[in-house]
Structure 1
């Protein structure tokens, strides 16, 4: 077979594959990761489980030892938990987006939905326990894509002292009261 028809056939096949995939990353379903949460004193205070689906990540959090009320739960950009948890860095934000779910620019149809690590608040009962399940498309457990939480330095999940106001500027969520490094299971 001459070389030119083979090249054309290969190019057509690659074009067909790219067209079928939409040119975007397809997540690997059923990847699972966990973060064992610790207090600043190193005491275990809960677990956050992450499960990749075809359309995003299901997050299941169980936390104890909190003050009653709302607490921000946010994925941070570095997989490290130093004693004051500052080693976890800023919010996971691969798209360099503005903070919060209700940023004024998004009401005008500008920009993206917020930091990839922005999550809903969790609420602790009077006994200090909180349980929450929610879903996000802000990141993936797959390695490789820009929005993967498993980049070169990993990611951590932080429970903050106060709830997130979901507004434009990073709200005052207070001290970091629990931290866990997110690890594949």
Structure 2
């Protein structure tokens, strides 16, 4: 009996380091996996390259939400994406305006965002305002999705002290008439927020 106990103790002493070595790689693998998961989490929650994003909940003059527009910083300007519904069918100007205030009839949003003090319109030789965007072409069902690229625009210009707003107009922007392209009344507005 005594011999058996001594043999068991000897085997455990000799085998102990082997068991510990067998567990060590598993513990290292587990730690490595946790590090990889944390790194993946950080990547998933990180905005796209350059990446700050701002949003505007666009509402009509009665205060009803028409949808959302997002502005995402890139190395070359701002990507403007939107999904709107219940917009009257036809062509409509959409601009980023200089003041983050949307009180109907939305004159409170001020003029187009224009930190470089240029003339209005992409067709104007002295243009364009940073807030000038392409027209929307809204189908009969009033629903539209769009992606625009505002070259040269920076979110810091949008997020200045008085903020900015996204405004949809009743008419089409002619891309040249100063100061607003003869776009007509302002039918929807959304304050840009982070």
TM-score normalised by L of structure 1: 0.75
Check the 8 A contact 1:32/1:51 in 2, yes or no: yes
Matches within 5 A, 1:19-168: 29-103=50-124, 106=125, 111=126, 113-141=127-155, 143=156, 148-168=157-177
* 1:74 aligned counterpart, secondary structure: strand
Cα distance in structure 1, aligned partners of 2:60 and 2:186: 9
Q: Deviations over 1:26-71 (max 9, x none)?
A: xx81101100000100000011011111111111011111111111
Aligned pair count reads 145
Structure 2, gaps ≥5 residues long: 1-48
Structure 1 runs of 4+ with >3 Å offset: none
The Cα of 1:167 is off from its aligned counterpart by 1.2
Q: Deviations over 1:100-131 (max 9, x none)?
A: 0101xx2xxxx4x4111000011111001111
Counterpart position of 1:20: none
Structure 1, gaps ≥5 residues long: 1-27
Match of 1:174 among 174, 184, 193: 184
Cα distance in structure 2, aligned partners of 1:137 and 1:101: 11
Cα distance in structure 1, aligned partners of 2:169 and 2:50: 29
TM-score normalised by L of structure 2: 0.71
The CA RMSD measured in Å over matched residues stands at 1.3
Which one has a larger percent helix, Structure 1 or Structure 2?
Answer: 2
Rg larger in 1 or in 2?
Answer: 2
